[in-house]
Amino acid sequence: MQHAPAHPLDSGRLTADQVVDVARNGALVELDEVTERGIEATREHIDALAAANDPTYGVSTGFGALAIRHIPAERRAALQQALVRSHAAGAGPAVEPEVVRALMLLRLRTLATGRTGARLGTARALAAMLNAGIVPVVHEHGSLGCSGDLAPLAAVALALTGEGQVLHGAGGTRPAAEALAEAGIEPVVLAEKEGLSLTNGTDGMLGMLVLALHDLRGLLEVADLTAAMSVEALLGTDRVFAAELHALRPHPGQARSAERIHRALAGSGIIASHRAPDCGRVQDAYSLRCAPQVHGSALDLLAFADQVAERELAAAIDNPVVLDDGRVESNGNFHGAPLAHALDYLAIPLADVASMAERRTDRMLDVARSHGLPAFLAADPGVDSGHMIAHYTQAGIVAELKRLASPASVDSIPTSAMQEDHVSMGWAAARKLRRAVDGLRTALAVELLTAARALDLRAPLTPAPATGAARDLLRTRVPGPGPDAHLAPQIAEAEALLRSGEINRIAHQLGGHES
């Protein structure tokens, strides 16, 4: 794994960009001296409570519905290990390494706040495991998003103690004890409260939200660019994207999207070719004319979800939690509702943006509505099918995105003998949002392929510098118009182009988009 410079965990402060850097780029993390002293000071309060006669939840009692059970001192280490073993009860396929690294980092961030009572040695060991690139096996199913992401975090905690499995090679696994030994990391023997401190957080949900927000910022920018390409290809007008029109409805995302599309179309020879008063076109279809309204709404919701993520990145999620005066108090901050709602909200406009892209694609392929383009953009319609079935793929994905837009957070199944009688289902909301982000990328990739081919077919008319550059960049990976070819690899190449961020750089340089 390629290591970027280390990010300091200054009393638990992290930015979203740092989370992405650690999760995806293998950046290192470190605990500074002030943070370490804060962790040690908090631990002193836990040690004092452990020695006291009065029971304290998570320190000298059982967990959940078993909190009424007082645990004698000589059994408390066994209690913590038993909690981690029993809670590491996930099932299904392993989730992506970047998700596991994100949740590991975010749990370490919470330990660094000094609110959990975990020992300094435990925090250091978790940092070392993260820096060594050791990724525990975390399963798809096991979190209800309340009491935090229990099973996923327990899988990480189990590996930290030298038990369980970690990822190894291409799809393989190996014992955590082997990986720790190879990295020179001593397995942790958990002390009072540490089982809860390592498992009681919203870190999986938050990690997936941060990663999705990072991806969606780029994809919504691409959506404005592909919309501009489609407007050109369909001989649409750029006048509807003028700032004065969007100022009449002052949604900031709408204005931003309209400006992006307007700038992407600046200097277009295709637009200029039909701007004369004798042009018979009065209004473009909604999928062209209303793109800023739909894309902009998604941008505004992205801004809201950014706020939720920022607040959660400033939070200390644990139960019980250690306060400034040393008191250890139970609370409900582990409930994932704020994250679950944001994750669910995002899936709705995401599906709508993809749906609008699909409508523009269909319009370019329909000889009755494409204003002179060949049927399905085929080289020899009838012999060739052109992009007909690429559109089928796009339509199927859009249908799936509509299903994924159904909220997970409105569901709740009581657990733990009715102690946990309302749960957020935030983990499920995050998992489906990840699938939806991938679907949006594919839907936009198909529009990019189709619009680029249509622009080629408009020659000798020339596109705008920005849209033309996007078309030309695609041509370094995918050939231009010609007889039917295997389309699946072309769709994959367009997806890879979107994933790489190269097309966003084109937009920044030539279309005036902000980074």
- Give the catalytic positions in this structure: 57
Alpha carbon distance 146, 160 (integer Å): 22
Q: Count Cα neighbours of 120 within 13 Å in the Cβ-side half-sphere.
A: 15
Residue 94: beta bridge partners?
Answer: 139
Residue 173: beta bridge partners?
Answer: 167
Helix axes 502-510, 487-500, angle to 10 degrees: 60
Alpha carbon distance 54, 56 (integer Å): 7
How many DSSP H helices and E strands does the chain contain? 20, 8
Cβ contact 183:129 at 8 Å? yes
Alpha carbon distance 397, 211 (integer Å): 21
Phi then psi for 70, rounded to 5 degrees?
A: -85, 130
SS (H, E, C) 30-93: ECCHHHHHHHHHHHHHHHHHHHCCCCCCCCCECCHHHCCCECCHHHHHHHHHHHHHHHCCCEEE
* Token reading at 290: 């209303």
Cβ contact 482:387 at 8 Å? no
Instruction: Supply the DSSP string of 396-451, one letter for each residue.
Output: HHHHHHHHHTS-STT----BTTTTB-----HHHHHHHHHHHHHHHHHHHHHHHHHH
Alpha carbon distance 283, 269 (integer Å): 19
Q: What is the largest CA-CA distance in the chain?
A: 91
Alpha carbon distance 163, 180 (integer Å): 10
Determine the length of the chain. 515
Report the SS3 class of residue 329. strand
Alpha carbon distance 354, 367 (integer Å): 22
* Token reading at 511: 């279309």
Q: For residue 515, how many other CB atoms are within 10 A of its CB?
A: 9
* Token reading at 26: 């293998």
